[in-house]
Amino acid sequence: MTNKISYRLYATILDAFWNYLNSDVIYNRYWGFSDNPPHTEDEFQQKQFQELIDRINRKPFDSEKADRGTCFNELVDALIEHRKPKDVEVERVADDKNAVWYRAIYNNRTFSFPVSLCCEFADYFKGALTQIRVEAVLPTAYGNVLVYGLIDELMPTTVHDIKTTGSYTVGKFKDHHQHLVYPYALMQNGSDVRTFEYNIVEFNKGGYVVDTYTETYVFNPERDIPILTNHCEEFIRFLEENRELITDTKIFGLE
């Protein structure tokens, strides 16, 4: 059966694998010049390996950074769709400088976002379709791979992914895979939307906005499909080498 799906890979698990492959680069970026790093390079690589296995196995994890991003995204989506946020308790508050904030409680954590920031994002995405699941079959040397993911905001001519970060550097998301997977999946389903934006908010440790940024990528099938295919094939080799550690068999095309 030629249509059999051999593997199911979502965009952010491809990112997690890329981080594992480049653990030495990441280590040196953060601790290369430290006299007292929290891990040796080998320990950090092992930590990255275990985190990747845990992600593959969908082991629950608790992350304030991830919750902040989810909460902000939901507030923006609610404004776009003129509805109440889901799973978020929210109230408008003013501080002593008369700035207006959304105080939002999500997953038992409290976050504050400037109303002006949320409205700026919602206005930018006016009319967007939100949280759109896309998928497509990618042929590889190891069989058909279903690549899939969730588009934050889909506009008529652009795909958008909202990112929140505690530290931003130019090109931070150039090695991520949403800007490969999502346009590929859309094209395979008859929607030729090649322009992709990461719309980024940088927060400081106190939770205040530092700045906003945009990274734009244009999907080039001749260049980008081989890149995506090669990365998927490398990941498949890793999966097969470590199959005994993988308990969630959905990634192997099984339900």
Whether residues 100 and 138 share a domain: the answer is: no
Structure tokens at 239: 């999966």
Of 18, 251, 21, nearest to 148 (Cα)? 251
Same domain, 221 and 156: yes
| pTM as predicted | 0.91
Res. 29 pLDDT band, cuts 50 70 90: low
Answer yes or no: do 87 and 195 share one domain: no
Q: Are residues 196 and 172 in the same domain?
A: yes
| Residue 231, domain member (yes or no) | yes
113 and 214 within one domain:
no
Give the pLDDT confidence of 217-250 residue by residue, as tens digits: 999 999 999 999 999 999 999 999 999 999 999 9
Residue 25 lies in a domain: no
Same structural domain, 140 and 161? yes
| 105 and 169 housed in the same domain | no
How many separate domains does the chain show?
Answer: 2
Distance of CA 58 to the CA centre of its chain: 15
Query: Each residue of 30-74: pLDDT tens digit?
Result: 555 666 666 677 787 888 899 999 999 999 989 999 999 999 999
- Do 131 and 117 reside in the same domain of the chain? no
Q: What are the angstrom distances between the C-alpha of 238 and each of 93, 221, 245, 250?
A: 49, 25, 11, 16
Q: In terms of domains, do 106 and 132 share one?
A: no
d(CA 89, CA 110): 9
Give a yes or no: residue 162 inside a domain.
yes
Residue 104 placed within a domain: yes
Query: Is the domain of 195 the same as that of 141?
Result: yes
134 and 205 in one domain? yes
Supply the range of the domain harboring residue 105: 81-124
Residue 246 in any domain: the answer is yes
